[in-house]
Amino acid sequence: MQPDPQTDTLERTASRFAPATARDRLMVGLDVPTVEEARAIVERTKGAVGTYKIGMQLQFAGGLAFAEELAREGHSIFLDVKLLDIDNTVMKGVENIARMGMRFVTIHAYPKAMRAAVAGLAAAGGDLCLLGVTVLTSMDEDDLHDAGYAGGVEDLVRVRAADARVSGMGGIVCSPHEVGVLREAVGPSLVTVTPGIRPAGSEAGDQKRIMTPGDAIRAGADYIVVARPVVRAPDPRAAAEAIVAEIDAAL
């Protein structure tokens, strides 16, 4: 049987973005209201975290410039913008994000948006992993039905993961509960990023499809995203190091 060139390319892409160590697997969301607070967390956790995620709250408080600052200092930065717009807007947005030196960026996993993002990255170049967001971890099947989807969460995750693979994305975002389903759909060709992570004893908050760090890694997640259990901890560094130890034990 002749090798599939597309599969070979996708697996090389996934390999390029695969985490090398337990620490690399931990993404900490800087979900705080000011850059000053975010900078303090980075200072306290430096060396204990693989990637810092900058989401919507901080983006609207100077977080984009801060993301570039951190990237220039050599940090791996995940810009969680969840792009979804007309093709040209998504494409041009990704071009600029690639030039900012980001490591990861999110696109809502609609086929046209993902194809536009891939085109934008091809135009700009750079070592940027495009992540397709399948179904938000704050949503369950009732929420999907309210939004007009007839099927269940696993069905939609499977479809969107397959679309991400065909589109040429670098990875997908899903809850740890769907990692196994995802691997059936796309194999090892995409890295998996899993929010909805709560260490044992933590409050679920607004998350619905959650799992502990160790269980998420054992389920097959490449990266886990943790925000509140680290950034709101009395000792953020100790909280991050405990999660890395749990990841290491699960590998």
- Residue 233, pLDDT above cutoff 80: yes
Give residue 203's pLDDT: 57
* pLDDT tens-digit map of 169-200: 999 998 888 888 787 778 888 999 999 887 86
**pLDDT at position 201 over 80:** no
Q: What is the CATH number of the domain that holds 183?
A: 3.20.20.70
Least confident of 62-71, 135-144, 199-208: 199-208
Instruction: Answer whether 186's CB lies under 8 Å from 159's CB.
Output: no
Residue 76 located in a structural domain: yes
150 or 192: which carries more pLDDT confidence?
Answer: 192
77: closest CA among 57, 107, 97?
Answer: 97
Give φ, ψ of 150 to 5 degrees: -85, -35
Cα dist from 129 to 27, 106, 140, 169, whole Å: 14, 9, 27, 7
Determine contact, residues 206/227, Cβ cutoff 8 Å. Answer: no
pTM surpassing 0.85? yes
Spell out a b/e string for 92-126, using b for 16 or more CB atoms within 10 Å of the CB, else e.
bbbbebbebbbbbbbbbbbeebbbbbbbbbeebee
Residue 87 lies in a domain: yes
What is the domain count for the chain? Answer: 1
Greater confidence (152 vs 107) lies with 107
| pLDDT for 209 | 54
Specify the pLDDT at position 149: 83
Query: Under DSSP, is residue 238 helix (H, G, I), strand (E, B) or coil?
Result: helix
Nearest CA to 90 out of 42, 124, 66 is that of 124
97-107 pLDDT tens trace: 999 999 999 99
Query: What would the pLDDT profile of 108-141 be if each residue is shown by its tens digit?
Result: 999 999 999 999 999 999 899 999 998 777 777 8
User: Is 82 considered catalytic here?
Assistant: yes
> 77: domain range?
5-240
pLDDT of residue 14: 65
Structure tokens at 193: 């990023």
82, 92, 112, 208: the catalytic one is 82
How much is the average pLDDT of 145-172?
88
In a domain, 28, yes or no: yes
Q: Is residue 146 part of a domain?
A: yes
In angstroms, rounded to a whole number, what is the distance separating the alpha carbons of residues 156 and 179? 13
In sequence order, what are the residues at sequence separation of 6 or more whose Cβ sits closer than 8 angstroms to the Cβ of residue 226? 26, 27, 28, 29, 197, 199, 213, 240, 243
* Domain assignment of residue 251, yes or no: no
Alpha-carbon distance values, 192 to 37, 177, 226 (Å): 28, 12, 14
Higher pLDDT, 8 or 97: 97
The answer to whether the Cα torsion of 14, 24, 105, 108 is positive or negative is positive
The stretch 229-251 carries a mean pLDDT of 96
The larger pLDDT score, comparing residue 150 to residue 209, is at: 150
Average pLDDT over all residues of the chain: 89
Q: Helices H, strands E: what count in the chain?
A: 12, 8
pLDDT band at 222 (very low <50, low <70, confident <90, very high): very high
Task: Inform me whether the pLDDT recorded for 150 exceeds 90.
Answer: no
Domain membership of residue 249 (yes or no) is no
In a domain, 246, yes or no: no
Q: Is the dihedral of CA 58, 62, 68, 74 positive or negative?
A: negative
pLDDT at position 229 is 93
Q: Are 246 and 238 in contact (CB under 8 A)?
A: no
